[in-house]
Structure 1
Amino acid sequence: MARPSRFDTDQFLDAAVRLAAASGPAGVTMSAVAHEVGAPSGSVYHRFPGRTALLAQVWLRTVERFQEGYFAAIEVEADAWRAGRAAARHVIAWSRAHPEEAALLLYGAEDFGRADWSEEHIRRADRGGRRVRAALGSLAEGLGAEGARAGERVTLAVIDLPLSVVRRHLRAGLPLPAHAEDLAEECSAVLLGPPAGASCSGGEE
């Protein structure tokens, strides 16, 4: 009977997240991950054929975990204006709960070697990207935001602006302040405009 493995894939990916948060993508090597886990290098190569596959897996697992909650935050609200505010809050709340993963996502897929990824990994990344674009498109439609400029404003409100709050603090090695979620939501609400049925002077009831 085969002996059960002492290490599983998630342990190696968790180690890769810690290394990326501390030293960037360059810090994620096969030997560094093995050392971080306390495993022989062969155990890492048993699960990942090489560093490119390891980088792809750690990036994709992290971004997909973030997106799962992000889509849920948007979809739980029937009203597009509230959904946009919830999405902005989620960026901050998820980053607060997962600071190492958030630090990793401050880089891009290209920093994790996307140009050399397998077709399977690229398809997986593209599938997530399409889902994000579809969600933003639906949100813009629900808000009545028509045209390229309006679409950019929605993206700024629910992605770029809250990420800038996360980036500024995490890159400085500082925790996110207690007011970060509220601030992101307030700024998002301004960019998204008044809720449906509200006057410009009346605000939300």
Structure 2
Amino acid sequence: MQPLRYSINVTLDGCCDHRTIGPDEELHRHAVENLERADALLFGRVIYQMMEAAFRPQPGVEAEARPDWMAPFARTIDAAKKYVVTSTLDRVDWNAEIVRGDLEKAVQQLKQQPGRGLFVGGVQLPMALAEMDLIDEYEFVVHPIIVGHGPTLFAGLAKYVDLKLVDRLELGSGAVAMRYEPRRQPSAC
């Protein structure tokens, strides 16, 4: 079974609004490494549309004022297979297909396909997946800033998730990427 991995940038006070954290080369390099560990990306509608607007190549249009060091991330996310969880979009393209119906069952089926893993992004979809105990690895890239507003990560989570630290990486910006796995109770057989 392939793992479902989640990574998100967050401030010291828990804000997960992507506009509060400035991009840098090392952070994007790290994100590319994460994406390359997955065979497909799982997005909700909001993240899918945000990523598509920012990174889908437009014929005849140069990337608007994008630094050269963002190109590997843009190429990687453009080429990736994408699954989009949505009840409002009728169709998607950009190497994507819609996931409808029972979310838990659909994600379990994706995880059972052969491969290196799936990568999920965003805020709302990962919260639902965490409550279903479907995320196998969490990575929080904690940035040394306090912004004093939200949205905050996992606000309203209905289920306690106990994690154990499995890896830690300090970035030159002062951000720390901490990777965790859930402590799961052995199933009774």
**Could you tell me the TM-score, scaled by structure 2's length?**
0.29
Kindly indicate which of the two structures has a greater share of residues assigned to strand. Answer: 2
**Could you tell me the TM-score, scaled by structure 1's length?**
0.27
Q: Which has the higher contact order (CA 8 A, sep 6+)?
A: 2
Kindly indicate which of the two structures has a greater share of residues assigned to helix. Answer: 1
